[in-house]
Each structure stands twice: as C-alpha cells, then as structure tokens.
Amino acid sequence: MSLRSLLLLLCLMLCLVAAPAAAQDLLTGEAEPSPEPPEQAIELSSEGPADGEIADRIADIFGQIDALSEVSVESRAGVVTLAGPVPTADDIARAEAIASRVTGVVTVENEIERNLDVETNVAPTLVAFQENLRGFANALPLVAVAFGIAILIGLLGYWIAARKRLWQWIAPNVFMAELVATSIRFLSIVIAMLVLMQILGATALLGAVLGGAGVIGLAIGFAVRDTVDNYVSSLMLSLRQPFRANDHIVVDSHEGRVVRLTSRATILMTLDGNHLRVPNSVVFKSVILNYTRNPERRFAFELGIDAEDDAADGIAVGLAALNDLPFVLSTPEASGVIHDVGDSNIVLTFHGWLDQTDTDFHKGRSKAIQAAKAALEEQGFALPEPIYRLRFDDMAPLPIKRALSGESGRQPQPAKAPPPDTAEDQDTAPDTHIERLVAEERAETADKDLLDDSRPIE
C-alpha cells in the first residue's frame, strides 16, 4: 500500500468518526464553544498618548464631577495612580472605573480615601434635603388638584351609595341592598386612588401598594375565614328565605320560634322564653325542621297489654278511644300496629293526627295516651308490669320465708279514687304565649329583619 492510499484511508476514518458528532450537533443545535480570546498583551512600545496626556485627560474628567474634583492623578508608563479624598465609598470605585476606561491606561493604582470631615459629609445631605423641599413646594398645586379630584370621586361614590331607597328597590332584601351600597363605596375609593396616583405619576407605587394589600388580604382571609363563611351564609339565607318569623323550628340541636334573621345570626326564642343566637353559618349548614309549615302533625305512643290478650282487639279498642277524641283528625285516619312481642307483654303502637293551629301537640298526645289506656283497662286488658322469676334456697333468712308463706308485715292500702275529669284537663288549646312575645319584639325591631314575607320559602 502506497503512502497516498494510507493517507486517504486515515482521512476517511477520521471523517467517519467525526460525522456522528457533527450530526448530533446539527440535530440538537449545540456546537462546541469557541475558545475565549487571550488577554491582550502589553506592547513593548506604545504609540498611544503620553503619560502627561493621560493624566490631564483623567484630571479634566474628575474636574467636572464635584465629588472627584480633589482627586490627584499621576501616570507613569500607562500606570495611573489616584489619590485624594472623596465624600463616599461609592466615589472611590467610581473614580477607578472612569480612569480605567481612558485610552492608554494599563492599570490603576487606587489610593483614594474617603473624607470623614463632618462638614463635607453633611453639606450634600442638607443640599439634597433643600432640593427635595423645593421640589415638594413646586408640586403642591398638582398634589392639591389630585387630592381634590380624588375626594370628589369618593364623595360621589358615597352619595350614590346613600340612595337606600334605590338599592332596596333593586335588591331583593335589605341585606343585599347594604351589600351593593358597600361595594359602591369601596369601588369609589379604589377609583379615587387610581386617579390620584395617575395624576401624581406614582402608578408604580400604586401597583406595589395593591400587591402588598393583596398579600395582606389573603393572610387576613385565612385568619377570618369563619367570619367570611358566616357572612356568605347570611347572604344565602337572606336570598333563600328558609323560614318565616314566628315559625317553630329545630336547627341542629336548638329549638324555638324565629324572632328575626340578621346579617350575623338567627335569633330564636326557646320554648322556655329565652333568646338564642345561632350563627348563620350553622343555620345554613344544618338540617332545619319546621313544625309550622304544615299544621297537621302526627303523634305516636306505645302501650303494652298482657301476652294472653288478643292484640287485634286491643288495637280496635285503642283506635275507638282515639277516634272519639275531638281533636284527632279523621283524615288521615288513626292507626295501630303491633310493635313488639315481649316475654310477658305485647307492645302496641298507636298513631294519630292533629291540627297544631287548634291543638297543642304535647297536650293532645298526652290526652290520647290517657284515653287509650283508660279504654283498654275498662275492656279488661291488663297493662302488665315486668315479671321476674326468683328461686330461693331452703336456708333463706326468715323475712324471705315469711314472704313465701304468704305472711306480710304491711297493712293493705285503700284503693285510690280516680282523679276528677275537670274542664282544665280537657283543654288542649295551643299555648300562644311565646308567639305573643315574638310578635311584640318584632314590632320593636322590624327594620333589622332580613325575613321577607313577600318572597317564597325555599
């Protein structure tokens, strides 16, 4: 193989090895970084400006700057030496940066020191303060105009929000009207601030303030989330109207008649005559049981008869007694079922309906139990008590033996006479005392109520 062939084969192998790398560079868009240029070497002879020209040029520049006017400049073979006092530490670095940019300078020896003289350091501050005061005085007319326009916008927003009749006519209730008015006030303040900052040219400051307010508002929102939840619940309750004033309701474990619905809580008057404030967030999330919406209400009670008695006859006797009561409704009809069969008795359950507008529920149920029990006893149905079987040893003490032999130390008690059936016992009219108290209180504070009788109940 000739030398020429060997060289060609070597070149071909190098191309094959380099081709994949080049293709990868083309696909990925990456290439080898170009080598950094070497630092410029210092020439042996210079045809640039002389040292005197370099020093004069730097000194002329420093002379135009008050803070660098006292700095001395020397130049030897392109090495510039700076010395002298300057007011601040920033001026030291500033002087070195200026000197290093002058043509012909090889390096800079910085021997500048900060001037700690009181007069030198205080005077610029006083001058800057005087200039700021002068600028503020010149800006006072513009500031006055900007604040005047902002105040006018705010007053206009408050005047519009004060039109209560308009918002009450537009909004479905008082709570929504107040919410709309508050939103208008807040919007007017935001617009006034935007106009104020726009006139003063401080929109960047406004952005920073609004950003900070957003972060602070988020933190406050997490802190007062319960209050916000209660506020939203009040809004939803005022729109949905789940009950009316003086309705007899049960919310969670709280029972009473509704006095009013406020922007924070639902006021109930318990059946004991006490005021109960339930947060609207609890009312909105809880199951509400309303006894007033449907005046017809079913009552139920249980009675036991002897296991040897006929349960069907017992149910018939009890139903006949219920149907004879004037307050028990014929439609829906009263009913009775066998609830349970025990060891010594049969438990019967009776159901009946009454109208709560004419009959008190608890009084009517009590009267129904009395009537069914008396009817069963008159027809010979025994209402048994629990029976226990006891067994005693022959070595039992003397009192137990006496009891087994039929002896007893007690004297027989005379039978009690049945209580007289008076007119007061027959009274089943509902108690309206709590209703009157609620009506009287609502008459005093009707303007604070969010309940609206003109809107449907949801």
Give pLDDT, residue 120.
65
DSSP three-state, residue 163:
coil
Give pLDDT, residue 48.
60
- Cis amide linkage into residue 332, ω under 30° from 0: yes
Contact 449, 442 (CB under 8 A): yes
Please give the structure tokens belonging to residue 63: 């002379």
- Could you tell me the residue ranges of all domains in the chain? 51-116, 123-223, 230-292+438-448, 294-386
Give pLDDT, residue 406.
54
Question: How far apart are alpha carbons 193 and 451 in whole angstroms?
Answer: 37
The CATH classification of domain 51-116, taken from the options 3.30.1340.30, 3.30.930.10, 3.30.465.10, 3.30.70.260? 3.30.1340.30
Give pLDDT, residue 366.
94
Give pLDDT, residue 422.
42
Give pLDDT, residue 22.
44
The residue type found at 141 is: P
Residue ranges in the chain whose pLDDT is less than 70: 1-48, 118-121, 172-173, 203-206, 209-210, 212-213, 217, 220-224, 386-426, 446-448, 458
- Pairing relationship of beta strands 107-114 and 79-86 according to DSSP bridges: parallel
Question: How far apart are alpha carbons 90 and 113 in whole angstroms?
Answer: 11
Question: How far apart are alpha carbons 183 and 179 in whole angstroms?
Answer: 6
Give pLDDT, residue 327.
93
Half-sphere exposure of 423 (CA within 13 A, CB side): 0
Give pLDDT, residue 25.
45
Torsion over CA: 424, 427, 428, 434 (sign): negative
Architecture of domain 230-292+438-448: Roll (2.30)
Give pLDDT, residue 78.
83
Same topology, domains 230-292+438-448 and 294-386? Answer is no
DSSP three-state, residue 74:
strand
The CATH classification of domain 294-386, taken from the options 3.40.50.2020, 3.30.70.100, 3.60.9.10, 3.30.1060.10? 3.30.70.100
Give pLDDT, residue 3.
43
The predicted-structure confidence for 379-393, as pLDDT tens digits, reads as follows 988 877 766 666 666
The predicted-structure confidence for 273-311, as pLDDT tens digits, reads as follows 999 999 999 999 999 999 999 999 999 999 999 888 899
Question: How far apart are alpha carbons 150 and 193 in whole angstroms?
Answer: 7
CA dihedral 335, 337, 339, 340 (to 10 degrees): 150
